[in-house]
Amino acid sequence: MRRLVGFSLVCLGLIALIMLVVLFMGGFEQVGSMGIHGWIALTLGVIVTSALGVALMALVFHSNRSGQDESIDQGWHKPDR
C-alpha cells in the first residue's frame, strides 16, 4: 500500500511540475481575463481529475499484483459444446 501512495504522490507531483513549467512559459496568457473563481475552479478540476485517474490506475495495478484477477478466472467455467 505504501508503494501505491508513493506512486500517486510522484504522479501528482509531476503533473504539478508540468503545470508550473507551462505557467512560467506563458502558456496561460489567453486566460488572463479569467477571475479568481475561474482559476480556483480550473485548479480544483485539474487536481481532482488527475487524482481520480492516478487512483484508478493504482487500483488496477494493485488488483493485478494481488492475484484477485486470477482467483475470479479459476471459478469461471465455460460450458462444453
What does pTM read for this prediction? 0.50
Quick one: CA torsion of 62, 66, 67, 68, rounded to 10 degrees?
-70
- Residue-wise pLDDT tens digits, 25-67: 887 777 667 788 988 998 899 889 988 998 898 888 888 788 7
Q: What is the pLDDT of residue 77?
A: 60
Query: Is residue 51 packed enough to be buried (19+ CB in 10 Å), middle (13-18) or exposed (0-12)?
Result: middle
Q: What is the pLDDT of residue 34?
A: 78
